[in-house]
Chains A and B, each alone.
Chain A
Amino acid sequence: MTLTKTAAVTVALAQAPGLPTVFTTGYAARIGAAAGGHNHFYMTGSMGLALSLGTGIAMHSRRTTLVVDGDGSLLMNPVGLVMAGARPDLPLIHLVLDDGAYASTGGQRSPGDSVDLPGWARACGFSRVHTVGSEEALAAVLREELRNPPAPVFVQCRVTSDTTAPPPRVTDDLEGITARFSEFLAPQV
């Protein structure tokens, strides 16, 4: 039984509904956009910066922020782990969908075979680090971590690339995404 990327996103959104959620570049953003939500930010470019973006959101809003990232993105710019891991009370869940490939550019292998991604997270200060590979395990980890006190949480989720066609590209109205997401984050008065 394998877990597809789309199934992992579906489980994550069901377990963590309504959280500020950042989707990384590529199919993750497209899968997220197909699911839809005023609490979503689809980062269509700037590959590698999803965790940094989520860190800024979590730091300033103090709301638990979900970052749906990929192994390719994390390998491209692991510096985000340095900043997030150094903040023991940062309310952030970094969910890395690890399929070992760059799905949206044609499925080239990512150079991560020899890299211990959870080890990177631990080395950067993340004290709560998990590896999961099934819907049940992902759901259980997210359920538990959302009950725990805020901290930077790292979840490596082993997935397979989807075999079905990806959802369409995210709309070109990127300013609209900013406006809607900022409004969602604005403090309630």
Chain B
Amino acid sequence: MLTEALTTERVDGSVSAVHDALTANGLGPYFGTPCGVLAPLLSLLERGGDYHVVAREDNAVGVAAGASLAGACPVVLMQNSGLGQSVNALASLVVPYRIPMLLIISMRGTAPDTTTENLAMGRLTGPVLEGLGIGYEYLTGAGAERQLAKAATVVREKRLPCALLVRPDEFAWKV
């Protein structure tokens, strides 16, 4: 019981720290596609007014690109399977046109997620982002304040896309 209580506290802390840091940096609108790992964060974002569910990840990237052209600092939240779906949108629109946005990508197929269908994207997420020239780091609750301030600077001032990766268990997802 004690362990469970501690786990819950840590998890809530990580999710709320990330949510607070997103809000504090004036990021948004948010475009989300479903993801069990990100579910606790998506639930918090859904309570705000500027969260939009998009049926497919590359469409979310497309809508975010439009919002970005119109002056917003959009955030797209997706699972790394959705990154696979979005590669062309990033490769032929976001990167060559230099359209700034923040991607928050959960890392299915990496420990502790052993689901076979996700292993390939687990291996490919880093290399794909590197190949696209999109900078990334792992998002943590403890580092969220610093990481999101930095990401906001990259998006807003350097006018570049960047990505934050989320480990499967960062928000207490279980296999």
In the complex, which of the residues A41, A44, A56 contacts B92, with contact meaning CB atoms closer than 8 Å? A44
Quick one: given A45-B96, A46-B88, A52-B63, are A57 and B58 in contact (CB under 8 Å)? no
Among B45-72, those with CB < 8 Å from A are 52, 54-56, 58-72
Q: Which residues of A contact B (CB under 8 A)?
A: 22, 41, 43-46, 48-49, 51-61, 77, 79-80, 82-83, 174-175, 177-178, 181-182, 185-187
Among B78-128, those with CB < 8 Å from A are 88-89, 91-93, 96-99
Bound CA span A174–B70, Å: 16
Given contacts A57-B69, A61-B70, A182-B71, list 12 more A-B pairs with CB under 8 A: A46-B58, A46-B88, A46-B92, A52-B66, A54-B66, A55-B62, A57-B70, A59-B67, A59-B70, A79-B56, A83-B55, A182-B69
Q: In the complex, what residues of B have CB within 8 A of residue A54's CB?
A: 66
Do B67 and A60 touch (CB < 8 A)?
A: yes
Secondary structure at chain B's binding surface: helix, strand, loop or mixed? helix
Q: Which residue of the partner chain B has the closest CB to A185?
A: B70
Q: List 8 A-B contacts (CB under 8 A).
A: A45-B91, A52-B65, A56-B63, A57-B69, A80-B59, A80-B62, A174-B98, A187-B71
In the complex, which of the residues A44, A58, A187 contacts B66, with contact meaning CB atoms closer than 8 Å? A58
Q: In the complex, what residues of A have CB within 8 A of residue B36's CB?
A: none
Quick one: given A43-B93, A80-B62, are A56 and B68 in contact (CB under 8 Å)? yes
Do B93 and A45 touch (CB < 8 A)?
A: yes
Do B59 and A46 touch (CB < 8 A)?
A: no
Q: Is B34 an interface residue (CB 8 A)?
A: no
